[in-house]
Each structure stands twice: as C-alpha cells, then as structure tokens.
C-alpha cells in the first residue's frame, strides 16, 4: 500500500488535471491509511482540505445539478480541516492551514449566497462568509513570511471586496475596486485626470459578483461559429479573437470621449497614421436572441438573421476574477519608464481569460428628440451643449445609482480639467487612453455592449494576421468550455451553403455535449431566391 503522503501527492496531480472524482478516491485511500490520528495531524488536515477543495470545484463546474449537495460536502471537509488545526504545535504552520481552511469555507458560503432563493438563508451565508474572510485577513497579518503575506492579501482581496457588495456597503466596495486600479495601473499616483480615470474604470468594470446570472451574447457568422467549436471539418483548436478597433462598425470608435472633453486635436500616437498602439476587443451584448443584433451581426452571404448567437454566463460561471492590469500593461510600460514589473509580453492563453469585462457607456448630445429620461445622468452644460450618459443597470439597482453618481463626478472633473489646455500635460492626455474605448455614440445604445479589451503595441508578438479576413487580431480563449448555448438564427439554413440545424446539433453533441443548441424563431422573412 502506498504511503499516505504519496497518495496525497498523487491526488494533487489529479486535482490539477481537473480529475476531481479520481482525486477524491485517492484522498479517501490516504485517509484510510492514517494509522495514528494523534500524530498524523498534518496529513489529516491536508486530506480534509483537499477533499473540500475537490467537492468545491465539482460544485462550480459547468452544468452540474448537484451544486448544493457538493457545496455541503465541501463545507463539512473544510470545517473538519479547520478543527484539526488546533492540534498543530507549530504556530506558523497552524496559522497557514487555518487560512487555507477558512478561505475555502468563505468561498463555499459565497457560492451558497449566489444560489440561495431565500433572503433569510442568504443573510446567514453572508454573515458566515464575512466571519471567515475577516478571520483569514486577521491571520494573514500573523504570518512571518512577508512574501506569503502579500500573496495571501492579494488572493483574498476580491473576497473581502465581494463581502462589501453583498452587505450593500457600496462605498467600501467601490473604493476597493478603485484602489486596486490605482495600485496596478498608476502606482497610486494622485493626479486629477488619473484619479478620474481610475474612478471611471472602477465604475465600468463589471466583476463576477455584479454580473451574477446576467447572460451575455456574442453574435457571429455560422462559419466562425463552426470553427470556434471545432465542428464541420474544423479539427484545429481555434480560439475566439480580440479584433482590432479599426474594423469595428462604429467609424468614430474611440473618439466619442475625446469629443465630449473637447479634445478632438488630442495628439496621441494611436490617432495618427502608423499608430504604435492599437486597441483589440471582443464584444458581448446583454440582448440575447435579439432580432436587431441578428440582423446586424454574423449574417452570411448578406442574409439577415442567418448567424449564431453564442450565450455565456447563463449559469453565472463564465466570468472569472480579473487581473485589471492585463489590458493596459503596454500603456503602463509606455507611461512609466521603470515599469519592469509590468512586462509587455508573457500573459498568454489562460491569462487572457482573466481579462476584465467592461460595460460600454453611451454619450448622447441633447437635442429636441432625446428625452431626459433616456440617459441616467446629464453632465454640466458646456457652453450651449449638453451631454448625457446612458448606462444599462447591471445587478443591484441601488448599486447602479451609486455607479451613475461616481461616473458623473468623474466625467465632470475631466471636463473641467481639460477646459484649460495650457495646463494639460502629455501624461494627462494619455491617461484618457485607458478609457476612451469604453464610450460609444448614443446611436449604438440598443447594442447594450460589454467588452473584453487589450491595448497592444502594433509590433507585439501576440498580434496575428488572418489571411481570410485581411485583418489583425489577438487570440482570446478556447470558448468550447465557456459557452452555455448556441442559438441559430432564423435564416441559418437559408444562405445557400446547405447548412442544416440538425447536422449542427448532432456535431455539437459529439464535440461539445454540454453546450445547448436551439433555434431562433424571431419573425423575419427568408431571403429572396
């Protein structure tokens, strides 16, 4: 029989491969191999913790109908691991393992909050999550190793922030979001434009706890859809793309905010021919199975509503905790000559899955045809002009109103600051690069757009060229395990390419069985023959 420690090591290898059921089996074997429960405390702590983590990962896996039961099992094992730590004699070892166990418990309670349909139960889970993460934070301060201390502080920061959101402490929640942005992007600089930019980024960055179960739609052509899922003869692993802003449908892409701030003559590199940097993004909409979106995007052969609607986050499991520095590392490096800790390259594939999701805000010019209520906020008039901002509510309505107030304050600060061009430095102007692709013209408001965004130097090794589309792009991620559903447009079969919905459904069952396939029945005429 294998030694207990060897069985634990083997279970960890299986865990890292996502083979949780097999890892659980090994851990139970390890538990059965414990011969002295009075002396083998460390091994028992480890086994119980990893059993908890295995059940937790199973619980949050896609398309499971056993979430509640699995979470209950995870809680039981984390609690057992925590209880065992009191028998450890080494103080630092005890603190270390308590941090692990209580972090696991806190994460379990947050998951239970998400799925709870009872307000009273949710309140209990919030209290339990808060107690455990507060205990973790206190124990982190007792660690002797400064590197480990900083690492753990970074790990639990999102959880402490989410607790503020769940307790509806909007100000604390927002300040934690903004502080992280200031630390990572501006190294805590306090210039007025950078402070306002950090505020706007904190407003428009949508975290997993804010998004909740709001589904996100991405519209694309049947051809691209088939490639992304590796069907219909497409066997190569092709990731979803972040496309260049140059090819977007809005000819004023990136200029709306500059117009608002009366900075049309802003002398930035990426406004000139031969730009050194470019913005790349992929777009999502909160409008799922929407006729207008189908008519505009993804059509094949000019046939409206022939494309595919890819649906994400139906189960609230698409969005991951983000690294807010990832989209802007090249900008931070450009603005800060000593930013050696922000490498331009080196965050490939899985790190792009940590891209923050940003909501697009729409800028409206007040005229006789735009009602006041069409915009959540109206900014201080500039001479005879009056601009409004439309921002669709996401998550809690009170939180949305808080966001609107913060956005209004920050934009008015920027308007006032950029009035006197004689006092504006190049660094002040370039701070706008972080946010100008998060604003669009009011005319596009019905898209209700959200974006994953990256700004890169034009010579970046991460940029690739597509011969078919004659365009450049950055690979984003394999979405076969991220998408929840594919909705085929009403005219999917009517493009002249002999596409059949039943064939698509069959091929998807073979390649991506967890992805639901459905047909849109939106009313639209078939193409003229």
Selection from 239-243, 298-302, 493-497, 503-507 with the highest mean pLDDT: 503-507
- The Cα 467–Cα 378 span in angstroms is 45
Share of the chain above pLDDT 90, in %: 29
**pLDDT band for position 339 (50/70/90)?**
very low
Q: What is the pLDDT of residue 384?
A: 64
Can you give the pLDDT at residue 116?
Answer: 75
- Poorest-confidence range of 86-90, 419-423, 436-440? 419-423
The fraction of the chain above a pLDDT of 70, given in percent, is 86
4-167: CATH superfamily? Tetratricopeptide repeat domain (1.25.40.10)
Query: Up-side HSE of residue 180: CA atoms within 13 Å toward CB?
Result: 25
Q: What is the pLDDT of residue 319?
A: 85
Q: Quick one: which H or E segment has residue 516?
A: strand 516-519
Flag whether pLDDT at 517 surpasses 90. yes
pLDDT at 152 over 80: yes
Query: Is 457's pLDDT higher than 90?
Result: no
| Rounded distance between C-alpha atoms, residue 21 and residue 84, angstroms | 24
For the chain, the domains span: 4-167, 192-519
Q: What is the mean pLDDT of residues 292-300?
A: 87
Strands (DSSP E) contained in 136-290 are 205-206, 216-220, 241-244, 277-285
Q: In Å, what is the CA distance from 112 to each residue of 76, 314, 513?
A: 14, 17, 27
* Contacts for 64 with CB less than 8 Å, ≥ 6 apart: 58, 70
- DSSP single-letter state for residue 382: B
**Helix H segments across 343-485?**
397-417, 426-430
Q: How far is residue 93's CA from residue 311's CA, in Å, rounded to a whole number?
A: 45
Q: What is the DSSP letter of 166?
A: H
The predicted model gives 37-59 an average pLDDT of: 88
Q: What is the pLDDT of residues 466-479, one digit of tens each?
A: 887 788 888 888 88
Given a cut of 60, is residue 275 above it in pLDDT?
no
Candidate from 49-53, 331-335, 345-349 with smallest mean pLDDT: 345-349
pLDDT at 118 over 90: no
Confidence of residue 427 (pLDDT cuts 50, 70, 90): confident
pLDDT tens string 155-206: 888 888 999 998 899 999 999 999 999 888 887 677 788 889 999 999 999 9
Query: Helix 146-166 vs helix 91-115: angle between axes, to the nearest 10 degrees?
Result: 20
Predicted local distance difference test score (pLDDT) of residue 479 = 86
């Amino acid at each position: 029989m294998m030694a207990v420690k060897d069985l634990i090591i083997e279970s960890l290898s299986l865990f890292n491969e996502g083979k949780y059921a097999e890892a659980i089996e090994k851990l139970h074997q390890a538990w059965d191999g414990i011969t002295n429960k009075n002396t083998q405390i460390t091994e028992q702590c480890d086994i119980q913790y990893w059993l908890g983590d295995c059940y937790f990962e199973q619980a949050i896996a896609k398309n499971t109908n056993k979430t509640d039961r699995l979470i209950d099992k995870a809680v039981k094992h984390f609690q057992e691991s925590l209880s065992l730590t009191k028998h450890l004699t080494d103080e630092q070892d005890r603190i270390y393992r308590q941090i692990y166990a209580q972090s696991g418990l806190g994460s379990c309670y947050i998951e239970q909050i998400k799925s709870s349909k009872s307000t009273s139960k949710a309140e209990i889970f919030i209290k339990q999550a808060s107690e455990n993460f507060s205990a973790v934070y206190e124990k982190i301060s007792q660690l002797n190793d400064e590197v480990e201390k900083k690492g753990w502080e970074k790990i639990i920061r999102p959880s402490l922030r989410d607790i503020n959101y769940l307790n509806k402490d909007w100000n604390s929640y927002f300040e934690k979001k903004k502080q992280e942005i200031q630390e990572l992007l501006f190294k805590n600089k306090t210039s007025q434009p950078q402070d306002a930019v950090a505020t706007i980024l904190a407003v428009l960055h949508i975290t997993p706890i804010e998004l909740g179960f709001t589904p996100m739609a991405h519209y694309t052509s049947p051809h691209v859809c088939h490639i992304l899922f590796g069907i219909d003869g497409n066997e190569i692993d092709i990731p979803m793309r972040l496309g260049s802003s140059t090819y977007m449908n809005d000819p004023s892409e990136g200029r709306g905010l500059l117009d608002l701030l009366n900075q049309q003559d802003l002398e930035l590199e990426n406004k000139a021919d031969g730009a050194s940097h470019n913005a790349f993004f992929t777009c999502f909409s909160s409008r799922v199975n929407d006729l207008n979106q189908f008519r505009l995007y993804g059509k094949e052969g000019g046939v409206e509503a022939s494309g595919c609607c890819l649906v994400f986050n139906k189960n609230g499991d698409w969005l991951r905790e983000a690294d807010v520095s990832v989209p802007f590392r090249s900008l931070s490096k450009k603005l800060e000559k000593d930013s050696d800790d922000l490498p331009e390259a080196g965050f490939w594939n899985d790190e792009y899955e940590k891209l923050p999701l940003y909501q697009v805000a729409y800028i409206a010019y007040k005229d006789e045809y735009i009602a006041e209520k069409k915009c959540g906020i109206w900014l201080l008039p500039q001479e005879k002009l009056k601009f409004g901002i439309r921002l669709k509510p996401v998550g809690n309505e009170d939180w949305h109103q808080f966001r609107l107030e913060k956005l209004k304050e920050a934009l008015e600060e920027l308007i006032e600051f950029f009035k006197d061009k004689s006092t504006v430095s190049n660094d002040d102007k370039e701070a706008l690069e972080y946010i100008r692709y998060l604003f669009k013209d009011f005319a596009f408001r019905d898209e209700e757009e959200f974006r994953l965004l990256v700004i890169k130097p034009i010579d970046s090794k991460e940029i690739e060229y597509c011969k078919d589309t004659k365009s450049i792009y950055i690979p984003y991620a394999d979405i076969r395990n991220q998408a929840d559903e594919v909705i085929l447009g009403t005219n999917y079969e009517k493009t002249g390419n002999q596409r059949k919905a039943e064939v698509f459904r069959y091929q998807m069952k073979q390649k991506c069985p967890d992805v639901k396939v459905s047909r849109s029945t939106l009313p639209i005429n078939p193409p003229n023959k």
